[in-house]
Structure 1
Amino acid sequence: MMILGQLKEIKDLRKVWPHEALDFTPWLAEEENLALLSDTIGLEIAVDETESSVGDFNVDIYATETGTDRKIIIENQLEDTNHDHLGKLITYASGKSADIVIWVVKRARSEHRAAIEWLNNHTDENIAFFLLEVKLYQIGDSDIAVKFEVIEKPNDWTKEIKRQTSSSPTLQARYDYWVAFNDYAFKHTAFAKSFNRRKASTDHWMTLSVGSSVCHIRLLQVRKDNNIIVEWNITDDKDLYQRFYTHKADIESDMGMTLDWRELPDKKASRILVTQNAEFNNKDKWPEQFDWTMDVAVKMKNAFKKYL
């Protein structure tokens, strides 16, 4: 008979992180740990700065959503929520012109859950507030496991997707393709270990984090040309593009393919990409397209990260 261990929750978070600013914030800012948070809320987050100045105060983590210009603030609290931190959260959001506000706490009190819900219902549709509890679990003497639990989040994101797709067959087709890609890709270990799940949208692109605020991998459906593109996108750093370009031969050798290098002198962004024909309207071909996309994305991340 198999003997099963008993899962127990570690209530005192400070046994693992004695100090909020010195221990928890640096831990959360590490790529693999931030990936847990990103995966929980369905956003790709790249850290810009920790203990980022807002007037006389500092926000714990200032970040960017990968692939967009949306700014994120993350405020940590290894205790129960309180009015002081709620006030700071709004102050920091205002000072940083944040689009996404994430409050990570030990326990969310009911009055603060209600406050975050109210903010989501009464602020601009482009503003999003998340309230999460961080939990610690252990089985016997095993390693301690971390889990983030969403307590409050914007309640209109799913509705917005439904509204958009119902009004446009093209948007519906894009959305269906990304949903199918997610369902397929994250069943494969190599891809799932390299990237976090990205929320499906009606956009023609999907971004994948590579742990940098200035770079990301972008997958694109170019339906008018029947092409799928995987690209290394550099948001605004021409020097970084040149650094990659000096290693062009090594990067292409590592990936086993020739890339299309586009510095785009008249634009801030630079693109390094590879293109493949795709029959978007033939669902029987989707697994083949997904396999190619996943393979290129993993190879691209491994090849380029050497030179970041």
Structure 2
Amino acid sequence: MGKVKLGEIIVVNPREVWNNEERDFTPWLAENIDLVSSTIGIPIAVEQIEKRVGNYELDIYGKVEGTDKTVIIENQLEQSDHRHLGQLITYAAGLEASIIIWITPQVTDEHKTAIDWLNSISGDKTNFFLLRPEVIKIDDSKPAVRFQLEASPSDFVQNFRDAIEDEEAPRHIFRKWFWAEMFKFLAKDGHAWAEGRRTTKDSWISSSIGKSGISVNVSMAQGARIRVEIYLGHPEPEKNTEWYNLLLANKDDIDSVFINEQVSWEALDDAKSSRVAVYCPYQKELVETDTEARNKLFTWISNNMKIMREVARKYFK
């Protein structure tokens, strides 16, 4: 038997992959949040990046999928430092966060000790995690990322999952089933963002385009309709107005890319948020029982999500 030839694992400096934390690392992290979810064992749905909190900006703001529990993530590309630890605590207090995550490629002993101490004095409703991203290559391969869990609350995952399950309600069963089936369909139809997504009992799901305050969503709208939308939800209303007007100025071009669809232009109350959307009616019972009808609806969602994401990226690079 010949000798087995193995590749050499090479640890790569994160700066070789992401040159800038705000422009490169944070958007990538938002797009690949499932890697963080699988590391801590809790599904995270990103709602916003660079969220304004007082005079500062939180890197990533989200929710535990299917709940109203707030998740905050502060990330950096350098060694852990006191400034980021202070910001993390400030954000956690200001947003009353349940899940607080600090991501840094170099963890000092004192900062690991600080996170362990914060967990020891916090109640069950507040939990701190310290993650270390490790970028590796095998010989000349493309770089890959794996997350190492450096600090977390003891017995957290099972206790938190139990709490989520206790909040389950019968009306959420259809939503969780529908989203799970949709994610599987979309992942096979070329939507990388849907791969590995966990289901939720919320009436909507979001996909990030890498820009704070803008997402492309699928929602269960009133009147037994499914809505696919570009959602403008920046905390500063004037920003949403600016973005909506930018899209509106290109209304003819945007309308023209949606074949056989009536585009709905919705500047919402007080311009706190706005959307550009298309709608499709559906029958819940038919979707549950008829595979052909279900796949027809999923195909409609897939096609229009692709278009919405292309439009959003075109005007909000």
| TM-score normalised by the chain length of structure 2 | 0.72
CA distance in 1, matches of 2:281, 2:161: 31
- SS across alignment from 1:186: helix
Name the CA distance, whole Å, in 2 between partners of 1:195 and 1:176.
15
Structure 1 residue identity aligned to 2:31: A
Question: Given that residues 164 and 202 in structure 1 are in contact (C-alpha distance below 8 angstroms), is that contact kept between their aligned partners in structure 2?
Answer: no
- Structure 2 gaps of 5+ residues are 38-43
Change (3 A) 1:270 1:70: farther
The alpha-carbon deviation at position 259 of structure 1 amounts to 0.5
Deviates more, 1:271-280 or 1:93-102: 93-102
* Residue among 167, 176, 197 paired with 1:164: 167
In 2, Cα distance between equivalents of 1:252 and 1:69 = 37
Q: Contact between 1:35 and 1:196, CA under 8 Å: does it hold in 2? A: no
SS of equivalent residue, structure 2 residue 129? strand
Work out the CA distance in 2 between the residues paired with 1:247 and 1:86: 40
Query: Counterpart of 2:257?
Result: 254
Alpha-carbon spacing, 1:69–1:170, altered in 2? closer, same or farther (3 Å)? closer
Once residues 313 and 145 of structure 2 are traced to their aligned partners in structure 1, the CA distance between those partners, rounded to angstroms, is: 27
Greater displacement, 179-188 / 298-307: 179-188
- Compute the displacement of 1:37 (Å): 4.1
Partner residue of 2:41? none
Alignment of 1:267-282 (within 5 A): 268-281=272-285, 282=288
Paired residue type of 2:254: I
Structure 2: distance between partners of 1:304 and 1:25: 19
Structure-2 residue corresponding to 1:230: 228
Which residue matches 2:204? 205
1:21-69 deviation line (CA, Å, top 9, x unaligned): x85565413x33542346532332643279x966xxxx8x534339999
2:74 is matched with which residue?
Answer: 74
Residue in structure 2 matched with residue 17 of structure 1 by the alignment: 15
CA distance change for structure 1 residues 87 and 244 in 2, over 3 Å: closer, same or farther? closer
Query: Following the alignment from structure 1 to structure 2, what is the Cα–Cα distance between the partners of residues 173 and 157?
Result: 22
- In the alignment, residue 226 of structure 2 is paired with which amino acid? I
SS at match of 2:167: helix
Q: Separation in 2 of the partners of 1:7 and 1:286? A: 47
CA deviation vs aligned residue, 1:213-235 (integer Å, no higher than 9, x gap): 2221221124x633211122222
Give the counterpart letter for 1:102 in structure 2: I
Match of 2:310 in 1: 302
Q: Secondary structure at the match of 1:291?
A: helix
Displacement of 1:5: 4.8
CA distance in 1, matches of 2:119, 2:195: 26
What is the deviation of 1:276? 1.1
* Distance in 2, Cα, partners of 1:161 & 1:286: 28
1:132 to 1:71, Cα distance in 2 relative to 1, 3 A: closer
Distance 1:24 1:241, change over 3 A: closer
1:240 equivalent in structure 2: 243
The CA deviation string for residues 240-288 of structure 1, in whole angstroms up to 9 with x for no partner, is 2122112111112123232011213445222221111223332423332
SS in 2 for 1:201: coil
Structure 2 counterpart of 1:163, one-letter code: D
Match of 2:61 among 38, 59, 64: 64
Instruction: Output the CA distance in 2 between the equivalents of 1:214 and 1:86.
Output: 22
Alpha-carbon distance between aligned partners in 1 of 2:164 and 2:294, rounded to the nearest angstrom: 22
Q: Look up the SS of the partner of 1:252 in the other structure.
A: helix
- CA drift of 1:141 comes to 2.2
RMSD after superposition: 3.9
Unaligned runs of 5+ in 1: none
Q: What residue number does 2:40 align with? A: none
In the other structure, the counterpart of 1:92 is 90
Give the secondary structure class of the aligned counterpart of 1:258: coil
- TM-score normalized by structure 1? 0.74
Q: Deviations over 1:73-106 (max 9, x none)?
A: 4043745x78x57853554335754635321134
1:176 maps to which residue? 177
